Amino acid sequence: MYQIMAKKTLNKDVDLMEVKAPLVARNAKPGQFIILRVDDEGERIPLTIAGIDGDLVTIIYQKMGYSTQLLGKKSVGDFIEDFVGPLGKATHIRKKNHVIGVAGGVGSAPLLPQLKAYHDQGIKVSLILGGRTKDHLILQDEYAAFCDHIYLATDDGSVGEKGFVTDVLKKQLDSDPTIDHLIAIGPVIMMKYVTLMAKAHGVSVDVSLNPIMIDGTGMCGNCRVTIANKTYFACIDGPDFPGEEVDFDELMSRQSYYKDEEHMCFIDLDNHGR
Amino acid sequence: MAVKTQRTRMRTQDSIERQSNFLEVALGYSYDEAIAEARRCIDCKNPRCVLACPVEVNIPLFIKYLLEDALDEAFETIYKDNILPSICGRVCPQESQCEGACILGIKSTPVAIGALERFVGDYGMEKHLADTTVPELKHKKVAVIGSGPAGLANAAGLRKKGYDVTVFEALHKFGGVLQYGIPDFRLPKNIVENEVQNLKTMGVEFVKNAVIGKSLTIDQLFEMGYQSVFIGSGAGLPSGLGIPGENLSGVYFANEFLTRVNLMKSRSFPLSATPVKIGDNVAVVGGGNVAMDAARTAKRLGAKNVFIVYRRDEASLPARLEEIHHAKDEAIDFRLLRNPVEILGENRIVKQVVCEIMALGEPDDSGRRRPVGTGETVTFDIDSIIISIGQKPNPILKDNTFGLKTHSWGGIITDENHMTSIPGVFAGGDVVSGAATVILAMGTGKEAAETMHQYIQNKKT
Ligand SMILES: Cc1cc2nc3c(=O)[nH]c(=O)nc-3n(C[C@H](O)[C@H](O)[C@H](O)COP(=O)(O)OP(=O)(O)OC[C@H]3O[C@@H](n4cnc5c(N)ncnc54)[C@H](O)[C@@H]3O)c2cc1C
Ligand SMILES: Cc1cc2nc3c(=O)[nH]c(=O)nc-3n(C[C@H](O)[C@H](O)[C@H](O)COP(=O)(O)OP(=O)(O)OC[C@H]3O[C@@H](n4cnc5c(N)ncnc54)[C@H](O)[C@@H]3O)c2cc1C
Ligand code: SF4
Ligand code: SF4
Ligand code: FES
């Protein structure tokens, strides 16, 4: 059992938690993730490690469906049944000069440690942060501590540019020839379009893939993705891959295979407390 | 002495009824049935059955005790060589091991050794006969990676020798394939949990959610004071067919399918959180135990038509004979000499599988006749397809352990003492042999407990 030591609401859909998990914290590196089960009947769900502080592991999750909402009902002092990691490969830090991180929505959380890792290597980093509204742009202060520039984009124009992150990205790529690498994390469709834009500008791009996972140890094969026409398991070979080589359409299709079932889970959320 | 009787058949759950539940299919012997069957053993002087059992259970002796109504002694006799009798009695491929060698098999049917072992094992489980007494702690720590049969047997052996044993398991439940792979209708999970509980009673410590190589490295285990390490991480990495369409939605590897159903309990979805969907027509590719388990599980989830698609003939099916019979009784449709060459989809969801019709050629390395393509194909309409053609060792330990030597297919290389290329690190079970059997995994785990003990004793401190 893993105790929740801190909890913070980032916006109405997104919480941050610090969970005591020494076996995860000990070897964790940027880009890696954990898999948790909220309770003994729970589903295994993957979440990126957003930070480490001693024995504490930070996770930031968007309350999407059953399991993340159940997690959101837990408070400081409560326990999570299972919490395993660090899983996946650590981010490969490329030798670059100016890296732009592009985050969509809660993708801001997994991007943070990666972009910070580039900064820690002395590489110039900037951020493009996008979301539905002003409230959906999370972790701005944390990024401000090390980013050269932060550009914002919202669907409703409540802050920053009205439009998509790709609109902002295009302007930057057109105007700033020092940019030589992108990291895009967010909805698959966003990563796909960022990748297309990177290709058009001859800039490399890494993306972090989020297929449906079960074990996270290479056992089930559910997380398979096609990279350069070869099958890889995102949980052990990834989750980061060069965007140029990813079959995004396949990923989107595999991700949505259980869409109908995800809204069918009949376990009563309100009466599920223990 | 002439053998007058045929072997006592084990009762099974009705073949129609069982297709909609996950209760055990084979119901086991009653006391009278067990005695009737035990009487058939002629107590050979040089029992061939014993030599054919990978751990050399003293079969005639336990049968003799059974006949004398000395059930406790019968249990102890088996337990001395095999700490998992209730499990092995159910899942060993007896026809190619103990029973395959039984002298009675020549003229009649072999003694039902597996069924008798199950009877005695279950009796022992009910009466808590497993010897959980252990010597006083020597306070030397050893680490076991993986809680499958190899790891469990190794942990038991070392604990019996007085070591302070910790088992590290990547998943949230213990038992390895016994837990996430083999379905309840063949091996009820309370049996696996009982075995784990026995080890806990003996003082073995179990740590779940610990992926060695990630959460802790083997070097870190040594730094933490573990004197020796046993790797029993199994062969969990599924192999694909490498044909077009394999990543369409609705194409499962057997591990995913069985894990969803067994470990994550999706069979009770939407009352459990993890779903599974397969539709009406399910093709299962492969002919081993994994394929039979996947097919029979699919049937129980409500699939109308389940086909086994296998590229060789019936005689070559590697599954246990009992599973093949049970699968047939459950109306699983065997489409033999069919080799999938392409999976076709619509909107990226599987719709059909195209199979090449195969013929039998010359015998290959395995002694079975090699399937050769005829160039002709047949196409089946399907809603999902479950690929069950084999597993390789998981690469996490290999990739994260400096100096650990492996074969090109991923298996860990060990010497005659089960030691790997790293001094003090031993390995056994499927991670060394490739996908094999419960009893072989258990056997090497147990042997390695001996050699690890010798290694630690000989080590200068
Ligand atoms: C490597 C990785 C890192 C991730 N990091 C984060 C993170 O830091 N923060 C965050 O908010 N989300 C993250 N996700 C996504 C997160 O796992 C899903 O949002 C979560 O599983 C949804 O579960 P649910 O029951 O609440 O929602 P559901 O209603 O069950 O599902 C909503 C959507 O989430 C996806 N999903 C569902 N189950 C799984 C599963 N077992 N594995 C992966 N995706 C699933 C599906 O695309 C589904 O359509 C990550 C995913 C992966 C693979
Ligand atoms: C569906 C199915 C049906 C089968 N049916 C039969 C049958 O009828 N009869 C028979 O004899 N055999 C059968 N087998 C084969 C048999 O189950 C295996 O040969 C046996 O379980 C191997 O035992 P093991 O201990 O080597 O590994 P496993 O049982 O695979 O256990 C390995 C354990 O190690 C854990 N692990 C892996 N990596 C790590 C790590 N890095 N850190 C920590 N833990 C780790 C895994 O999570 C797992 O729990 C079947 C197999 C399957 C999949
Ligand atoms: S352990 Fe397996 S092979 Fe050995 S006697 Fe028992 S059933 Fe037969
Ligand atoms: S070979 Fe058959 S008859 Fe002989 S001892 Fe073994 S089980 Fe009994
Ligand atoms: S999540 Fe199961 S293999 Fe990757």
CATH number where B79 lies: 1.10.1060.10
Computed over every residue of chain A, the mean pLDDT equals: 89
> pLDDT at position A64, please?
85
B348 is a domain residue: yes
- A220 Cβ under 8 Å from any chain B Cβ: yes
Ligand number, closest to the Cα atom of A241: 1
HSE-up of A41 (CA within 13 Å, CB side)? 19
Token pair 């009824």: residue: B17
Q: What does the alpha-carbon distance between residue A120 and residue A116 come to, in Å, rounded to a whole number?
A: 6
What is the bridge-based pairing of β-strands B226-231 and B425-427? Answer: parallel
d(CA B315, CA A161): 69
Residue B348 to residue A250, Cβ atoms within 8 A: yes
CATH number for the domain that contains residue B352: 3.50.50.60
To test the pocket of ligand 5, the residue of A33, A231, A235 to mutate (highest count of ligand atoms within 8 Å of its CB) is A235
Q: What is the pLDDT of residue B4?
A: 58
pLDDT in tens, chain B (461 residues): 445 578 898 999 988 889 888 889 989 999 999 999 999 999 999 999 999 999 999 999 999 999 999 999 999 999 999 999 999 999 999 999 999 999 999 988 999 999 999 999 999 999 999 888 888 776 799 999 999 999 999 999 999 999 999 999 999 999 999 999 999 999 999 999 999 999 999 999 999 999 999 999 999 999 999 999 999 999 999 999 999 999 999 999 999 999 988 888 777 766 666 778 888 999 999 999 999 999 999 999 889 999 999 999 998 899 999 899 999 999 999 999 999 999 999 989 999 999 999 999 888 887 888 899 999 999 999 999 999 998 899 999 999 999 999 999 999 999 999 999 999 999 999 999 998 999 999 999 999 999 999 999 888 65
Residue B401: give the domain boundaries: 141-236+393-458
Same domain, B73 and B170: no
- Determine, for residues B217 and A27 on separate chains, whether the beta-carbon distance falls below 8 Å: yes
Q: What is the pLDDT of residue A265?
A: 54
Does the beta carbon of B236 lie inside 6 Å of ligand 2? Answer: yes
Mutate to test the interface with A, among B171, B217, B350 (most CBs of A within 10 A): B171
CA distance A177 to chain B (A): 38
Please report which ligand is nearest the Cα atom of B323: 2
Which residue of A26, A221, A267 is in closest CB contact with B273? A267
- Domain for residue B400, yes or no? yes
Question: Are residue B154 and residue B48 in the same domain, yes or no?
Answer: no
Q: Which residues of B touch A264 (CB under 8 A)?
A: 269-270, 275
Q: Is A243 exposed, middle or buried (0-12, 13-18, 19+ CB in 10 A)?
A: buried
With a 6 Å cutoff on the Cβ, whether B111 touches ligand 4 is yes
Q: Are residues B346 and B245 in the same domain?
A: yes
Where are the CATH 2.40.30.10 domain residues in chain A? Answer: 2-87
Separation of alpha carbons A244 and A205, rounded Å? 7
d(CA B299, CA A249): 31
> Domain A2-87 belongs to what topology?
Elongation Factor Tu (Ef-tu); domain 3 (2.40.30)
Same domain (yes/no): B229, B275: no
Of residues A24, A85, A214, nearest to B264 (C-beta): A214
Note whether A29 contacts B: Cβ–Cβ < 8 A: no
List A185's β-bridge partners, or say none.
Answer: A103
In chain B, the number of structural domains is 3
Q: Is the CB of B181 under 6 A from ligand 2?
A: yes
Does residue B60's CB lie within 6 angstroms of at least one atom of ligand 4?
yes
Residues B244 and B380 in one domain: yes
Cα angle: B210, vertex B224, B141; to 5 degrees: 90
**How far, in Å, from the CA of A48 to the mean position of ligand 1?**
10
ipTM of this predicted complex? 0.91
User: Is B10 contained in some domain?
Assistant: no
Atom of ligand 1 nearest to the CA of A59: 8
pLDDT tens string A56-83: 999 999 998 888 999 999 999 999 999 9
Predicted local distance difference test score (pLDDT) of residue A273: 39
Q: Please tell me the predicted confidence (pLDDT) of residue A263.
A: 59
Please give the distance, rounded to the nearest whole angstrom, from the Cα atom of residue A74 to the centre of ligand 5.
26
Preceding peptide of B60 cis, ω within 30°: no
Is the domain of B151 the same as that of B122? no
Two structure tokens written together for B143: 């680490």
Q: Which residues contact A220 (CB under 8 A, 6 or more apart)?
A: A213, A214, B238, B253, B255, B256, B259
**How many C-beta neighbours within 10 Å does residue A141 have?**
7
B contact test, residue of A82, A219, A255, A260 with most B CBs within 10 A? A219
Nearest-CB residue to B171 (from A41, A215, A236): A215
CB A269 within 8 A of CB A69: yes
Residues B220 and B245 in one domain: no
Q: Which residues of A touch B248 (CB under 8 A)?
A: 253
What is the pTM assigned to this prediction? 0.93
Query: Best of B174, B182, B193 to mutate for ligand 2, by most ligand atoms within 8 A of CB?
Result: B182
d(CA B421, CA B413): 7
Measured from the Cα of B105, ligand 4's closest atom is 2
Instruction: Tell me the per-residue pLDDT of A94-127, one tens digit each, with 9 for 90 and over.
Output: 999 999 999 988 899 999 999 999 999 999 999 9
> Phi and psi (nearest 5°) for A199?
-60, -45
Q: Is residue B74 part of a domain?
A: yes
Where exactly does CATH 3.40.50.80 map onto chain A? 98-254
Within a domain: B75? yes
pLDDT, tens only, A189-206:
999 999 999 999 999 999
Q: Does residue B9 belong to any structural domain of this protein?
A: no
* Whether A267 and B214 lie within 8 Å, measured CB to CB: no
- The terminus-to-terminus CA distance of chain B in angstroms comes to 59
Evaluate whether B357 touches B376 at the Cβ level (below 8 Å): yes
Report the residue from A44, A226, A236 with minimal CB separation from B247: A226
- For residues B190 and B224, membership in a common domain is answered with yes
**Ligand number with the minimum distance to the CA of B40:** 4
Task: Please tell me if residue A149 touches chain B, with a CB cutoff of 8 Å.
Answer: no
Q: How far is A94 from chain B (nearest CA, A)?
A: 21
B102 falls within a domain: yes
Residues B245 and B380 in one domain: yes
Q: Are residues B286 and B404 in the same domain?
A: no
For residues B152 and B216, membership in a common domain is answered with yes
B42 lines ligand 4 (CB under 6 A): yes
Q: Which of B274, B385, B396, B401 to mutate: most A Cβ within 10 Å?
A: B274
B341 closest CA partner among B389, B294, B377: B377
Q: Is the pLDDT assigned to residue A272 strictly greater than 60?
A: no
3-state secondary structure string across chain A: CEEEEEEEEEECCEEEEEEECHHHHCCCCCCCEEEEECCCCCCCEEEECCEEECCEEEEEEECCCHHHHHHHCCCCCCEECEEEEEECCCCCCCCCCEEEEEEEHHHHHHHHHHHHHHHHCCCEEEEEEEECCHHHCCCHHHHHCCCCCEEEEECCCCCCEECCHHHHHHHHHHHCCCCCEEEEECCHHHHHHHHHHHHHCCCEEEEECCCCCCCCCCCCCCCEEEECCEEEEHHHHCCEEEHHHECHHHHHHHHCCCHHHHCCCCCCCCCCCC
Total residues belonging to chain B: 461
> If you search the block for the tokens 């060459």, which residue do you land on?
B341
Which CATH architecture fits A98-254?
A: 3-Layer(aba) Sandwich (3.40)
**Atom 2 in ligand 5: residue holding the nearest Cα:** A220
Index of the ligand 1 atom closest to the CA of residue A208? 1
Measured between CA atoms, the residue of chain A closest to residue B172 is: A82
Domain's final residue, options B91, B126, B161 = B126
B73: CA distance to ligand 4 center in Å? 18
Omega into A86 within 30° of 0, i.e. cis? Answer: yes
What is the β-pairing status of strands A204-208 and A240-242? antiparallel
Cα(B246)–Cα(B238) distance, integer angstroms:
13
Q: Which of A222, A250, A261 lies nearest to residue B256, judging by beta carbons?
A: A222
- Say yes or no: B322 and B267 in one domain: yes
* Closest A-chain CA to B256: A220
- Among the partner-chain residues A23, A66, A220, the one whose CB lies closest to the CB of B256 is A220
Would the CB atoms of A250 and B260 count as touching at under 8 Å? no
The pLDDT value given to residue A132: 87
